[in-house]
Amino acid sequence: MMFQNRKALGFGRWWTAVVDVSATAVAIHYAAPWRNRDIAAARHRPA
């Protein structure tokens, strides 16, 4: 990790939160097509 001494660089807890949110957004972005495909398949599946 580049910012091991975050507080000395002026970064607080918000920086880790931003990183976590960014990583989550990236994961959702790449997972969305698969999830949407599953939802579409379930929607067209006969009940």
Q: What is the pLDDT of residue 29?
A: 80
Looking at residue 46, what is its pLDDT? Answer: 67
Could you read off the pLDDT of 1-47 as tens digits, one per residue? 555 555 555 566 777 888 889 999 888 888 777 767 777 777 777 65
3-state helix, strand, coil in the chain (%, to 5): 75, 0, 25
- Please say whether the dihedral angle defined by the alpha carbons of residues 18, 24, 27 and 28, taken in this order, is positive or negative: negative
